[in-house]
Structure formats: structure tokens, C-alpha cells
């Protein structure tokens, strides 16, 4: 598919997104820098590994609970959103190739902020939900993005594991976290509701695969069908051209 065709399809998708735009905008703000949302101190005998039952029929309740994790200047005028799955090979490629390019250029310049939302495809990736919770737990020790990358870099090692929790605990220690604190978080229900809410948000925004990348700028949201750095940059340039006064 050509880049021009990709942009045409993205524009056509905008109409489908409009009824959820206010949710997207609100969550993008609420999610800024939030990785430590706490659902309480209730501890379970084992880690929660699947979505939990929540009453999210009301859009307001969904906005309150869904939490993206933001990288970059919270005041950046452009937001690049990824709905991702830690067990998804394509998400791994995006995290280890495309995201570093975004971070080193458009995010570093302050033009763009990057927001990650969990969207584990639990029907085909049984370890993805727990991995998303593990990443959230790492945020309690200010290690979210380092752990995020570690999970993707080691994806082939834990993706097929019957009990991946031990690997997740090992990775926490590798990046310098307090292992006991991380283990206590993982072996609980913490963040299960947040990950579940992120999944529901993605579903309402018509996310049906991962990685799904969206760009928001100047009150407009586009879903991209190609997720390489060049395409993302081109779409951002196109969406901000009128603001810059260029053609």
C-alpha cells in the first residue's frame, strides 16, 4: 500500500472515530505521567492474569479508569498513541525500532508525546495481560519505560512460558527494582482494572489488532495502517501543516 493510499484510508477512518474523540482527548490528558494508579491493597493468592469484571457502560467511568503511560512533554501539541500487546511480535518490532526513532527525534524536540495503552489480545496471547500488569507494577519504581523495553526485548523467552511470573520478577531485578516490592504488586490484583479499562477503551475506538497507532493533532485523530517511522512523521507533518502555515 502506498503512503498516499494509507493517508486516504486514515482520513476515511476519522468519521468512525469522531464519536470517541472526546474520550481519547480526555484520557490522553488524564494519562499523562500516570503509572502508579492504585486499586487498593487487596492481595490475592496469585497474580491476576485476565480481565476483571467492571461496570464501564458509562463513558465517564471509562475515562476515569483507562490510563495511558506518557513519554515526552505533556504539553506537546501532537500525541502519538499506541495500543499494544507485550506478547505481540509486531509490537516488539515497534517498541525496539520505531519508538526509539520517535523518542530520539520528535519526542526529544518537544513536538510529540507518545502514549502507550495496554491492549492484550488474550485469546491468542495468554501471557499478555500479566505482562501488562507487570509493566504497570514497574511504574511504581519509576522504571516503566526501561521495563517496557525489557519485556519486548525478551519476548521470545517468556511468551510461551506456562508460568511467566518468575521471568517478569527476574527482569524487575535486572533493571534495578526492589524485587520484593515488585513481586508483591505482581502477585495481586493491582492494575487489573486499569488494563481491563484500556482494553475496553481500545475496543470502543475500534482497535482490533496490535500495534494500532493513532496520531492526534489540531483536534483531529487518525488511525494509521502503516506504523513505520517515515509514515508516522509524514502524517504528523500533514496534520500540522495548516498550523505551520505551509501547504
Q: What is the CATH number of the domain that holds 178?
A: 3.40.30.10
User: Is residue 166 one of the residues assigned to a domain?
Assistant: yes
pLDDT at 177 over 50: yes
- For residues 196 and 153, what is the distance between their CA atoms, to the nearest angstrom? 24
Q: How far is CA 237 from the centre of its chain?
A: 23
Task: State how far the Cα of 216 lies from the Cα of 154, in Å rounded to an integer.
Answer: 31
pLDDT digits (tens, 9 = 90+) for 122-165: 999 999 999 999 999 999 999 999 999 999 999 999 999 999 99
pTM: 0.82
**Residue 209 forms part of a structural domain:** yes
Helix, strand, or coil here: 86? coil
Domain that holds residue 42: 3-241
- Is 72 part of a structural domain of the chain? yes
Give mean pLDDT, residues 22-43. 37
Tell me which of 9-13, 84-88, 103-107, 186-190 is least confident. Answer: 9-13
Has residue 32 got a pLDDT over 80?
Answer: no
Could you give the strand order of the β-sheet that contains 212-217, starting from the edge strand earlier in sequence? 69-71, 112-118, 78-84, 212-217, 220-224
The structural domain count of the chain equals: 1
Q: What is the DSSP string of 131-189?
A: HHHHHHHHHTTT-HHHHHHHHHHTHHHHTT-SSTHHHHHHHHHHTT--HHHHHHHHTS-
Cell (9 digits) for 185: 504488586
What is the structure's pLDDT at 57?
84
Residue 167 in domain: yes
Inside any domain, residue 246:
no
Amino acid at each position: 500500500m502506498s503512503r498516499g493510499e494509507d493517508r486516504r484510508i486514515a482520513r476515511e477512518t476519522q468519521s468512525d472515530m469522531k464519536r470517541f474523540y472526546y474520550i481519547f482527548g480526555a484520557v490522553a490528558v488524564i494519562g499523562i505521567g500516570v503509572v502508579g494508579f492504585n486499586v487498593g491493597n487487596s492481595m490475592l493468592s496469585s497474580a491476576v492474569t485476565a480481565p476483571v469484571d467492571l461496570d464501564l457502560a458509562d463513558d465517564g467511568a471509562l475515562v476515569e479508569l483507562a490510563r495511558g503511560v506518557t513519554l515526552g512533554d505533556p504539553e506537546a501539541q501532537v500525541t502519538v498513541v499506541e495500543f499494544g500487546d507485550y506478547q505481540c511480535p509486531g509490537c516488539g518490532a515497534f517498541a525496539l525500532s520505531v519508538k526509539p526513532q520517535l523518542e530520539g527525534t520528535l519526542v526529544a524536540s518537544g513536538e510529540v508525546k507518545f502514549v502507550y495503552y495496554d491492549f492484550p489480545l488474550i485469546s491468542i496471547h495468554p501471557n499478555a495481560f500479566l505482562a501488562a500488569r507487570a509493566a504497570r507494577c514497574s511504574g511504581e519504581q519509576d522504571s516503566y519505560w526501561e521495563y517496557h523495553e525489557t519485556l519486548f526485548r525478551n519476548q521470545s523467552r517468556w511468551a510461551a512460558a506456562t508460568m511467566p511470573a518468575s521471568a517478569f520478577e527476574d527482569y524487575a531485578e535486572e533493571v534495578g527494582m526492589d524485587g520484593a516490592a515488585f513481586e508483591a504488586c505482581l502477585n495481586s490484583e493491582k492494575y487489573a482494572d486499569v488494563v481491563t479499562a484500556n482494553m475496553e477503551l481500545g475496543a470502543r475506538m475500534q482497535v482490533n489488532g496490535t500495534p494500532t497507532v493513532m496520531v492526534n493533532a489540531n483536534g483531529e485523530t487518525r488511525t494509521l495502517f502503516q506504523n513505520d517511522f517515515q509514515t508516522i512523521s509524514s502524517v504528523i507533518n500533514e496534520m500540522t501543516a495548516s498550523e505551520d502555515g505551509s501547504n
